Amino acid sequence: MTPQGTLGTRRVPIFARLSPTGGLMAAVALVVAVVLTGCGSVSAAITPTAATPTVTAASLPQVRVQATDYHYDMSATVPAGLVAITQTNSGAQPHQVIISRLKAGVSDQQMVDAFPGEEAKIDALSTFAGGPGIVAPGGAQAVVVSLQPGRYVAYCFLTAPEGMAHFAKGMYHFFTVAKTSASVMRGQLAALGTLNLRDFAFAMPTNGVAAGQTTLKVVNQGSEPHELVIVKVATGKTVQDVITWVHTTPPAAPPSRPPPYTPAGGLEPIAPGAASWVLLDLQPGQYVALCYVRDPATGKPHVDLGMIAPFMVH
């Protein structure tokens, strides 16, 4: 339960437990490539095939999102098609950029009114379209997603130290996506690996995950939305410490001790059948991939249904 009058945490108890000053900078340049694919971040506007031309992130329309406590500075209009979105966190707390496309006939106010309610109400009004994952203060995260024309909202559902969701403090931004002369409607990035999201598991890249700048393709092969949350196991801690923390720490209350991990970026939820790319710069070490989207049938987060995958970065 969340405090009365505040916004409920939709799906990310792990972020609710992040220390405002802790975390690994997921520093990423738009030209960086990725080596890790998880719970996706692209809407289904573009479905790459073998004949789809290869593009680079740097050649695509660029969308810059400056995140502060608690506000986004970003454009009111975005070209349709493939776009490179970079979040830079200038705040004192971790932030994310969840992007959702409003369904036909849904107004901005309807969407705002839905967020304090049940998750099913939000899902009925919008469709996940990806977005840059969690970054610590001073960090950055870039992703490449495909956006269909329409009305969208970017929002942050992390929890502030006093227990109020960032969205409730005004951290949301509506914008319009339209086809323009700058739109890239067909294309795919060259990736060093593909990470498939399933109900309820991560199928990690067969060639592993390499350290440094890499490009990773993320495909949602499941029947539900999925995300990729990447955390790095803290020095002196183990994967089991992370798993125990995830399953036992209450999401709505500020943690009494630092978590056994630091945030390392990722992709916000994408719809079933969607694909996108994440640009990361991971250091060698032990990591864990997680998905916190809730299963409508059981009400449980996917991580409790088995969607958690430790992996090494070499």
Among candidate residues 148, 293, 255, 271, the one with its CA nearest the CA of residue 219: 271
Give the pLDDT mean for 293-300.
92
Structure token pair of residue 110: 């309807």
Mean pLDDT throughout 157-173?
Answer: 89
pLDDT > 90 in the chain, percent: 66
Structural domains in the chain, CATH included, are 13-180+188-313 (2.60.40.420)
pTM as predicted: 0.83
Amino acid at 23: G
Which amino acid makes up residue 126?
Answer: S
Task: List, for residues 84-107, the tens digit of each pLDDT value.
Answer: 999 999 999 999 999 999 999 999
* Residue indicated by tokens 């539900």: 224
DSSP 3-state of 23: coil
Ramachandran area for residue 157 (φ above 0: left; ψ -120 to 50: alpha; else beta): alpha
Query: What is the average pLDDT value for the chain, to the nearest integer?
Result: 83
| pLDDT tens digit sequence for 223-232 | 999 999 999 9
Average pLDDT over residues 155-184: 92
DSSP per residue over 266-310, as a string?
EEEEE-TT-EEEEEEEEPSEEEEEE--PBPTTT--BGGGGT-EEE
Confidence of residue 117 (pLDDT cuts 50, 70, 90): low
Task: With H, G, I as helix, E, B as strand and everything else as coil, classify residue 50.
Answer: coil
% of residues, the chain, pLDDT over 70: 81
187-214 confidence digits (pLDDT tens): 999 999 999 999 999 999 887 788 999 9
* First vs last C-alpha separation in the chain: 40
Element (H, E) at 111: helix 108-114
Two structure tokens written together for 95: 């932030």
CA angle centred on 300, ends 295 and 301, rounded to 5°: 80
Q: Are 98 and 87 in contact (CB under 8 A)?
A: no
d(CA 161, CA 224): 31
How many angstroms separate the most distant Cα atoms in the chain? Answer: 53
- Nearest one of 98, 94, 131 to 263, comparing CA atoms: 94
- Using one digit for the tens of pLDDT, what is the confidence trace for 145-159? 999 999 999 999 888
- Amino acid 300: pLDDT: 92
Residue 101: CA count within 13 A, CB half-sphere: 23
